[in-house]
Chain A
Amino acid sequence: METVYLAIPLAPLIGAIVVGLFGKTLGRSVSHWVAIAAVAVSTVLSFIVLREMLWGGGQPYNDTVYTWMVLGDLRFEVGFLIDRLTALMMVTVTSVSLMVHIYTIGYMHDDSGYQRFFSYINLFTFAMLMLVMANNFLQLFFGWEAVGLVSYLLIGFWYQKESAVFANLKAFLVNRVGDFGFLLGIAAVLMYFGSLDYQSVFQSAQASPDMTMSIWGDAEWSVITVACILLFIGAMGKSAQAPLHVWLPDSMEGPTPISALIHAATMVTAGIFMVARMSPLFELSETALSVVLVIGAFTAFFMGLIGLVQNDIKRVIAYSTLSQLGYMFVGLGASAYAAGIFHLMTHAFFKALLFLGSGAIIVALHHEQDMRRMGNLRKYLPITHITMLIGTLALIGTPFFSGYYSKDIIIEAVGHAHRAGATFAYWMVLLGVFVTALYSFRLYFMVFWGEERIDPHAKEHMSHLPRYVMPVMEWPLILLAIPSLVIAWFTAGPVLFGGYFGDAIFVAPANDTLAELAGHWHGPVAFGLHFWASPAFYLALAGFLTAWFLYIKQPGLLPAIQSRGRLLYEVLVRKYGFDWLWINLFGGVGRGLGRLLWRVGDVTLIDGLIVNGSARTVGRVAGVLRHLQSGYLFHYAFAMIIGLLVLLTIFIGQWRGWFA
């Protein structure tokens, strides 16, 4: 199996290198076949690994690939930990990645950076796999930053666009703020648990959970809490949780396939995966879990609200992603790690589907992203319509769709949780269901129903298309629609209640909310039929009906509502001022401070005042020398040579005894 494990990340790496370096020579179709073949290899092998785990009696694998460096007893290594959590992530990542690779053939077919794009998404797949397969913090951080790099490159893929290169810089810097916390968290782990290897860290943490440290004054802080919160700050950056979420909506500047792959299905879920992976640590700190719970709940509800006022189709889905990531964190914060990961998986499928569907619309309408210039598209794009409807139904948690199982369990779990913030979180995620249904069906109705508002220019473009959506783009939609509908039917039971994760996830018995719910689980059908007992169902229904009423039944009401709720509307359009805060407070103050330190500190004080005397002397001497310069510098050189020759003579003389 070791070769298999190694081949899984290396295949896309080789693909990325080959396509990246020789793409121009290979040409377009060879390049995309190389890239797709590489990911296909990873996908097939990942399924083999999963099968081995499930039915082949495969034991977790934990070993070193190579030693990065050794220092005394400290080992910094690159190595793999393959257990059931990893296997699930590997399958999710590679299969969504494969769909996106295929879809890209159509989406990017007339782009001049075709090969570069394939090289990047191959590289991304490699980096993401390294992240999930890591068995230590060094490699985790390596993967963490590497996916950030590829995200940076891909958001700025169309580097001529000012908005794109602004967005990628913003994304990288905001992520770096998170990584700053993450790195300090790793430093804390190394200091107190003496290793970077997951297993030994977990063991030492379990052995001494009550260590304290002082940060400020005499107050003693629990080491585990501090470390977990620092690590979670990293997760907030990568998984875009408030207030570090501001980069994700802007990341929509990148091509749509990567919005699906990186900014919905995989990279942004790295934070969720990390917290689940660190469950043996987080379980030791109630405080840290409460922080996770509250931040997630806040993001789930309030970011969903912003989605209501967006008109760019991709941005609606982006805010939806923020909100859904918040749901996952709520699951983790309620100690229902399996539910968080399960939602990660179902979300990966239906959210990738929604993004790819919106990409199909965007291409068909000649790069139109504004939903106000869409409408009634079901006529033109029937397959996109049906598949996106499936995705939407899954997203809002319609009974029997995959999202229903994953989201409902999170809501139930947080309802059963007892830690601080749980009540707040419960109400947030419950109300969030209404919001989710509202913005989702707002999108659906605005795009696919109502009157046709397509821009004449786009309409003209459409009339030249032999087919509105290429088959190579439609197939991935269909292939993603299937798991969006059915994946939970046969996975919900084992993953949530059947102990699928085994030792990969640790839950303290007192916190085990999922175990409390297990008694109510009588299979997916029974659970689906039981929808009427869940308040979430009625909230989703209300959201759907509101959207229908406002966008289909009585569209005339909208302007009135908007002007009545002017204040709220403005708050939402301005995204609560987070962007303003980041750009002005941090960007502006940082630059202002830099200018101040430079002008006042360096130029005026150090150079002007302290170096004053000598600087002026230097100036005077320089004034004199300027007249002598050209002819005399040659003499300097000559003097230097003479000096060296003298030195050489003395040295050789001493050695040969000439002066004895």
Chain B
Amino acid sequence: MFEGWPILSLLIWLPIAGGVAVLVAGDGAPRLMRWLALVVSVVVFALSLSLWTGFDTSTAAMQFVEHVKWIPTFDVYYHLGVDGISVPLIVLTAFATPLVVIAGWEVIQYKTSQYMASFLIMEGIMIGVFSALDAILFYVFWEAMLIPMFLIIGIWGGANRIYATLKFFLYTFLGSVLMLVALIYLRYQSGSFELLSFYGLDMALSVQVLIFLAFLAAFAVKVPMWPVHTWLPDAHVEAPTGGSVILAAIMLKIGGYGFLRFSLPITPEASMSLDWLIIALSLIAVVYIGLVAMVQEDMKKLIAYSSIAHMGFVTLGFFVIFDIAMATGGDGEGALLALEGGAVQMISHGFISAAMFLCVGVLYDRMHTRLINDYGGVANRMPIFAAFFVLFAMANAGLPGTSGFVGEFMVILASFQANFWYAFFAGTTLVLGAAYTLWMIKRVVYGEVANQEVAELSDVNGREFLVLGILAVAVLALGLWPAPLIELMEPSLDNLMQMVVAGTQ
């Protein structure tokens, strides 16, 4: 339908242009601005689906490529393209943004148009990150992403928002500076800023290790991995609901995406020799963070910690491939299972964390507290909401039939092939994930009506029902039939794996 169109550019610049329009039009007509924001974000989502439908799954090559000179002095190109790794993430981004717009519909009364504009601009920038094939272009989008999120938390956030925004900004900024150094170094090795030209460079292990660590600094903060995770709970607690949704559903994935797009293919040998580090940090994320999540008293903090634990499966899946290849003689199936599992987990976590934060948002909008102890017996007053919340909690606990199961299942099955104990520690999530999620559900949703505020709660309205309903369908669809997503990603991930394996031999 859109053949020959620069779809990726449209996906990036349409929301940004829409955001600017909303911003310029200003506060005069917040109602109209909401509608404009919604229309733009829905159009972008529809466009993003054409990426999926028009995608050729028989090849791992970059598709929908746009390649234009940008800053010739520095040999920088406006180079966009997508493969099976980035398409689902772009669709996820375009999927989440309209939900955030709807979720903030009448909740955000303060500077409504700026709020909507921030999310639209954010959307364009994130799609830019996922489709940039030029290192500088990537870096520009990467850094630009911080600004709207900084504003979202800083303007619409909670009481302690300034502390949280600065922590967030400094953490992520410090990480990315090192990445920039690595990118510039790579440019001198390969002779261009073309991302694909960095692949397969012949570099000594010691050099690779330095580059790997520079990338790690950037990506580990974003994922986030233990011990550079402490910005996330603070950021989530202070962020408005929409900010938390985008942060958890999309921004964390950019760290995972970075490992796939940069670390593994550019520094395969270093990835192999330092895989123990990532695996250890991932397992710490599952066990340590899982235990920490259990004792949180603030629902948003709990879900934030749960996000870190779930992202542990992403990094585990990506870096356990070397051990699997070694243990199974490299027939590749187990390693591919791990890689796909990590990638599926990213998409699934996008749905589930968004849903969980939206559920907390629904409660927060009514009671203006996130503390578990202020609730109790919500199901008595909000049965429909309770049904959604329990469904998403089950997905968060990795119940089969929901998307949360797919990635964890694949990664656990695969990591068993590397080492019994990897699977053992990863598997503790079955107990820990259920414990922290369902214990929260028990205290918030079940029981007698705890107090007068709870007694006065009203069930979800049509708008909230719509948002939660869409996410429920997504969570169940991916859980019951992950095959289409797997097929979409397989050629690219398989190609990536071959490349990594070739690079280590």
Contact = CB atoms under 8 A, between A and B. Distances in A.
B465 interface: no
A559 B420 CA distance: 54
A156 B295 CA distance: 22
A-side binding surface: helix, strand, loop or mixed? helix
A543 to B, nearest CB: 39
B434 interface: yes
Nearest to B413: A187
A169 B227 CA distance: 31
A173 B486 contact: no
A625 B162 contact: yes
Contact of A69 (B118, B154, B428, B486): B486
B336 A165 contact: no
Interface stretch (B197-205, B254-262, B393-401): B393-401
Contact of A183 (B70, B151, B227, B412): B412
Interface stretch (A51-59, A139-147, A563-571): A139-147
Contact of B170 (A141, A172, A618): A618
Interface in A588-638: 590-591, 593-595, 597-598, 601-602, 606-607, 610-611, 614-615, 618-619, 621-622, 625-626, 629, 633, 636-637
A61 interface: no
Nearest to B449: A160
Interface stretch (A91-99, A407-415, A522-530, A640-648): A640-648
Contact of B167 (A162, A597, A615, A650): A615
Contact of B434 (A153, A173, A191): A173
B163 to A, nearest CB: 5
A593 B288 CA distance: 9
A169 B71 contact: no
B416 A188 contact: yes
Interface string B379-417: 110000000001000100001110001100100110011
Contact of A73 (B13, B333, B377, B446): B333
B71 A215 contact: no
Contacts of A576: none
A179 interface: yes
A577 to B, nearest CB: 21
A591 B294 contact: yes
A618 B57 CA distance: 47
B448 A590 contact: no
Contact of B423 (A69, A187, A593, A654): A187
Contacts of B185: none
B69 A622 contact: no
A162 B447 contact: yes
Nearest to B69: A654
Interface string A195-222: 0000000000000000001010000000
A372 interface: no
A183 B70 CA distance: 52
A71 interface: yes
A595 B401 CA distance: 32
A180 interface: yes
A640 B332 contact: no
B16 interface: yes
A658 interface: no
A3 interface: no
A190 B166 contact: no
A215 B422 CA distance: 11
B292 A644 contact: no
A626 B487 CA distance: 50
Contacts of A176: 430-431, 434-435
B355 interface: no
A71 B324 CA distance: 16
Contact of A71 (B336, B399, B421): B336
A187 to B, nearest CB: 4
A590 B430 contact: no
A597 B308 CA distance: 15
Contact of A619 (B16, B163, B413, B480): B163
Interface in A145-164: 145-146, 149, 152-153, 156, 159-160, 162
Contacts of A465: none
Nearest to B490: A71
Contacts of B409: 141, 183
A236 to B, nearest CB: 14
A70 interface: yes
A637 B23 contact: yes
Contact of A184 (B23, B296, B416, B494): B416
Interface string B79-93: 000000000000000
B400 A141 contact: yes
A68 interface: yes
A597 B162 contact: no
Contact of B227 (A149, A213, A606, A629): A606
Nearest to A586: B431
Nearest to B443: A165
A532 interface: no
Contacts of A284: none
Interface in B143-185: 144, 147-148, 150-151, 154-155, 162-163, 166-167, 170, 174
Contact of A146 (B295, B401, B481): B401
A71 B486 contact: yes
Q: Which 6 A-B pairs have the closest CB atoms?
A: A187-B416, A594-B291, A165-B446, A594-B295, A159-B446, A142-B400
Interface of B: 13, 16, 20, 23, 68-72, 78, 114, 118, 121, 140, 144, 147-148, 150-151, 154-155, 162-163, 166-167, 170, 174, 227, 230, 288, 291-296, 328, 332-334, 336-337, 340, 377, 379-380, 390, 394, 399-401, 405-406, 409, 412-413, 416-417, 420-421, 423-424, 427-428, 430-431, 434-435, 438-439, 442, 445-448, 480-483, 486-487, 490, 494
8 contacts: A72-B336, A141-B400, A172-B438, A173-B438, A179-B430, A184-B416, A636-B154, A655-B78
